[in-house]
Amino acid sequence: MLAIISAMSEELEPILEAMDTYEAINYASNTYYKAKYKGVDLILAYSKIGKVFSTLTATTMIEKFGATKLLFSGVAGAVNSDLNIGDLIYATKLAQHDLDITIFGHPNGYVPEGSVYVDSDDKLNNVAKDVASDLGLKLKAGIIATGDQFIASSEKKDWIEKTFNADALEMEGASVGVVCTSLEVPFFILRAISDAADMDAGFNFDEFLDSSAKVSAEFILKMIEKID
Ligand code: ADE
């Protein structure tokens, strides 16, 4: 079973709308959708924003609904200046930028028995590359940093870039990645840029959330058809 997870209703809605059929199931204070799209069985949900809710939803999709592969669709703030609003990026690896026990001599993003980065699945990333080349779309591969903060400051953004070599930032990817890695479920994190995580980020996010969420959703729909 393939799972599609987003953080916000605006991110999931364009995917849900495209389904041939779906059934809503309430569980653990959230709504999960068992859906069919072009003959493929799917489980869909938006988690709500942040690492805790996305951890709960990804775990539930795997442990309760039997997800064996997971794709994330949503928006992100650009860190790399090559990325403009509406551009697509998938994560090759992800880190938690707000995980900090550096006082004990550990690097940012690291806790004992964990790792700074979690790696996404090469096979799913290759499916994305194929879809991009089939459709003639620009798709960047890069490092995504995740934290429980909406970043709207060039200084904070620069720190995240320098510390994690990040290309984009958001609030759920790394936590979903940790869940999937721990439970041995291949995962893919796709984001379309909604803002540049700078002083205009709040305004730009409000303006471009819907259009960028659609860019990501449409790409994910194409991927579903190519995943076995
Ligand atoms: N998702 C989209 N833009 C973001 C930002 N600036 N900070 C955190 N998450 C985001």
Number of domains within the chain = 1
To the query of whether residue 155 is one of the catalytic residues in this protein, the response is no
In the reported structure, the alpha carbon of residue 36 is separated from the centroid of ligand 1 by a whole-number distance in angstroms of: 30
pTM score, whole prediction:
0.98
* Burial class of 100 by CB neighbour count within 10 A (0 to 12, 13 to 18, 19+): middle
Q: pLDDT for 168-187, tens place per residue? A: 999 999 999 999 999 999 99
pLDDT on residue 228: 73
Residue whose Cα lies nearest atom 1 of ligand 1: it is: 76
Catalytic residue among 10, 11, 167, 198: 11
To the query of whether residue 195 is one of the catalytic residues in this protein, the response is yes
Catalytic residue among 167, 172, 195, 198: 195
Atom of ligand 1 nearest to the CA of 152: 6
CATH number for 9: 3.40.50.1580
Q: pLDDT for 86-142, tens place per residue? A: 999 999 999 999 999 999 999 999 999 999 999 999 999 999 999 999 999 999 999
Residue-number span of the structural domain to which 109 is assigned? 2-226
Q: pLDDT for 31-87, tens place per residue? A: 999 999 999 999 999 999 999 999 999 999 999 999 999 999 999 999 999 999 999
